Structure 1
């Protein structure tokens, strides 16, 4: 998938973008649809929570 065809979640603004509009440091993705990109914030938060839980258990 080319960057121009992909959907991205901008982690700085919280907005969904079509195509690589923002710097890569501010983007999560690529995603194949707007809906998938819109759910990125929830997936990122869940992954962070899960990894933090795993780190606590390992210590």
Structure 2
């Protein structure tokens, strides 16, 4: 058995349902964005997702 622990253990996660930060994945993976190294990074998770979505949408428009 590996002694490495759970993936993302000790990292920060953004819970999209509760809109809160979790240290270590405490909720179901389907509710979490991350992992992030710091709590501050986790707090900006939704902004990062929106920026990526906007960039992908712009790429799709260029391909048309």
Aligned to 1:6: 11
How far apart in 2 are the matches of 1:55 and 1:12? Answer: 29
Map residues 40-59 of structure 1 onto 2, 5 A cutoff. 40-59=45-64
Query: How many aligned positions are there?
Result: 59
Unaligned runs of 5+ in 1: none
Normalised to the residue count of structure 2, the TM-score between the two structures is 0.79
Greater RCO, CA 8 A, separation 6+:
1
Question: Equivalent residues in 2 for 1:5-44 (5 A)?
Answer: 5-44=10-49
As a proportion of its length, which structure holds more helix? Answer: 1
Structure 2 unaligned blocks of 5 or more: none
- TM-score, normalising length: structure 1: 0.85
